């Protein structure tokens, strides 16, 4: 009999992308093959996001359409995981008869058993919390590139999971559970193994990644066993021979100490990019969001990072239309985007999430006003991003080629050290292929990317 084939549809953050990679490894270990497309798959897994209302509704719309997909070939299986699965649990099975299994954010390792049951006609959900560090013990990550061309060059490595911050707008503490950090020796061993297999860039992941181990020992938080301060962890990884690029996401401003700021000037392989979510530029709104820092502190961190590493690119997340946000509050956000000289940002209209404090606040901003603010913010950021890109023209950088450019044609695309998208003409240099690290000169700038020509490349 042919081996069964699976496809995974992933929504949401990088944590979800990485969870999908882990599920993919588990399914391959269980004897399934990745399908070239969903049309060929016997199993479809949807890895869901519930950070905003729209993301959650995406699942319901997908499931509606999947009735047809299942009917096309009897025996097809649909599984749902991720943050909506964690929250709604087995009620999803009651609501959608086309759904075969549901797994929570702590239960990835149950997927093969759930699948086996599903092939035998048993529908089930597994969404229990698992507060033990053993939930990090999953099979070794795939080390071949998904494009099938040589070894994989980039990998995510989880250092902590969960969140104890309870920002008033945020659903994450109830979908990802309490903070838990992984032992530093395990992280280091995973990174070493990845590098040995050809990986040159790692992104350390955590919901509040720099709260790793919580070594600032805030009230009620003792340092977790086997951990070390985040800056020390970075230094350990920086010393691994063969590792060329270290990134981390997403940090929280509260957990920047002097050592972490200095690390950006000291560690050779730590990339000059920090994605540092600020959410709002108004102290009143920051307090109501329970972010636990002020705009002044945020700007101080940005300034510290620039002092340590003058070319650092700072990007951020912003929310507009939070309950009670006035025009003056919003003005503070616009001003902060300029003062922090954000190179780019993701901006969102506030979306009330059930069970969060902000959802009970009242004092809502009308959808029209929120939309209008979002448009103004994005216009400001767009101009700022373009100017930053233009300032890079003529400069040199190093690109790690990821794949084909989104711009179409036969251009290749990759990221530079500052995490900007750089497109390259494949004719423009020798050995331009996926996985290559190419020194380039930037020749043009667009609002969303840089255009470069290769200087020379090394494999
Ligand atoms: N752990 C990250 C942090 O604290 O910065 C949050 C990651 S979250 C997946 C990505 C972004 O979604 C957040 O930084 C925030 O800007 C946005 N977000 C979260 N909850 C939201 C909500 N209820 N409405 C609108 N945007 C939201």
Does residue 288 line the site of ligand 1, with CB under 6 A?
no
Asked if pLDDT for residue 216 goes beyond 60, the answer is no
Q: How confident is the model at residue 459 (pLDDT cuts 50, 70, 90)?
A: very low
Asked if pLDDT for residue 429 goes beyond 80, the answer is no
Give the pLDDT of residue 2.
Answer: 77
Triad 110, 112, 114: Cα angle to 5°: 65
User: Distance between CA atoms of 200 and 224, rounded to whole angstroms?
Assistant: 28
Does residue 348 line the site of ligand 1, with CB under 6 A?
yes
Ligand 1 atom closest to 49 (CA): 9
Give the pLDDT of residue 136.
Answer: 82
Does residue 208 line the site of ligand 1, with CB under 6 A?
yes
CA of 317 to the centre of ligand 1 (A): 7
Backbone angles phi, psi at 395, to 5 degrees: -85, 170
Asked if pLDDT for residue 360 goes beyond 60, the answer is yes
For ligand 1, atom 16, which residue shows the shortest CA distance? 317
Asked if pLDDT for residue 291 goes beyond 70, the answer is yes
Percentage of the chain lying above the pLDDT 90 cut: 85
Give the pLDDT of residue 222.
Answer: 65
Give the pLDDT of residue 146.
Answer: 65
139-143, 199-203, 455-459 — which is least confidently predicted? 455-459
Question: Please, what is the average pLDDT of the chain?
Answer: 93
Give the pLDDT of residue 348.
Answer: 98
User: What is the DSSP-derived secondary structure letter of residue 111?
Assistant: H
Give the pLDDT of residue 405.
Answer: 77
Q: Which of 158, 277, 289, 344 to mutate to test the pocket of ligand 1 (most atoms within 8 A of CB)?
A: 277
- How does 179-198 read in b/e, with b if 16+ C-beta sit within 10 Å? bbbbbbebbbebbbebbeeb
User: The tokens of 233 are what?
Assistant: 């962890």
For ligand 1, atom 1, which residue shows the shortest CA distance? 207
Q: Give per-residue pLDDT as tens, 334-349.
A: 999 999 999 999 999 9
Q: What is the mean pLDDT of residues 291-309?
A: 98
CA of 50 to the centre of ligand 1 (A): 10
Q: How confident is the model at residue 218 (pLDDT cuts 50, 70, 90)?
A: low
Q: How confident is the model at residue 410 (pLDDT cuts 50, 70, 90)?
A: confident
Closest to 178 in 3D by CA, of 193, 161, 192, 191: 161
pTM of the full structure: 0.95
User: Distance between CA atoms of 300 and 253, rounded to whole angstroms?
Assistant: 10
Asked if pLDDT for residue 317 goes beyond 90, the answer is yes
């Amino acid at each position: 009999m042919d081996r069964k084939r699976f496809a995974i549809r992933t929504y949401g953050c990088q944590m979800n992308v990485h969870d999908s990679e882990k599920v993919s490894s588990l399914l391959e270990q269980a004897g399934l093959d990745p399908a070239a497309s969903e049309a060929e798959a016997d199993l479809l897994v949807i890895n869901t996001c519930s950070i905003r209302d729209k993301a959650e509704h995406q699942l319901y719309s997908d499931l509606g359409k999947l009735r047809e997909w299942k009917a096309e070939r009897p025996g097809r299986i649909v599984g749902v995981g991720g943050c909506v699965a964690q929250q709604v649990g087995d009620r999803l099975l009651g609501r959608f008869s086309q759904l075969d299994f549901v797994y929570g954010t702590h239960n990835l390792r149950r997927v093969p058993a759930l699948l086996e049951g599903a092939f035998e006609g048993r529908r089930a959900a597994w969404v229990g919390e698992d507060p033990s560090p053993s939930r990090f013990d999953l099979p070794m990550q795939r080390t071949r590139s998904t494009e099938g061309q040589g070894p994989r060059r980039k990998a995510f490595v989880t250092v902590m999971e969960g969140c104890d911050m309870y920002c008033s707008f945020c659903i994450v503490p109830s979908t990802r559970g309490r903070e838990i950090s992984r032992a530093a020796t395990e992280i280091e061993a995973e990174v070493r193994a990845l590098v040995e297999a050809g990986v040159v860039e790692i992104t350390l992941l955590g919901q509040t990644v720099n709260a790793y181990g919580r070594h600032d020992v805030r009230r009620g938080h003792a340092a977790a066993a086997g951990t070390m301060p985040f800056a020390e962890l970075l230094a350990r990884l920086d010393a691994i021979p063969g590792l060329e690029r270290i990134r981390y996401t997403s940090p929280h401003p509260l957990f920047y100490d002097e050592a972490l700021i200095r690390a950006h000037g000291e560690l050779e392989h730590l990339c000059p990019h920090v994605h540092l979510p600020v959410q709002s530029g108004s102290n009143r709104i920051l307090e109501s969001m329970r972010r636990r820092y002020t705009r002044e502190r945020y700007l101080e961190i940005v300034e510290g990072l620039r002092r340590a590493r003058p070319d650092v690119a700072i990007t951020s997340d912003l929310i507009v239309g939070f309950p009670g946000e006035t025009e003056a509050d919003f003005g503070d956000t616009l001003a902060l985007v300029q003062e922090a000289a954000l190179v780019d940002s993701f901006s969102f209209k506030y979306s009330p999430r059930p069970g969060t404090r902000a959802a009970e606040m009242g004092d809502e901003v009308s959808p029209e006003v929120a939309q209008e603010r979002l448009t103004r913010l994005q216009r400001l950021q767009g101009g700022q991003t373009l100017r930053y890109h233009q300032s890079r023209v003529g400069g040199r950088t190093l690109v790690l080629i990821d794949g084909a450019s989104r711009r179409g044609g036969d251009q290749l695309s990759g990221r530079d050290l500052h995490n900007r998208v750089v497109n390259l003409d494949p004719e423009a240099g020798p050995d331009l292929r996926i996985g290559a690290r190419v020194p380039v000169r930037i020749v043009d700038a667009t609002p969303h990317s840089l255009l470069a020509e290769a200087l020379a490349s090394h494999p």
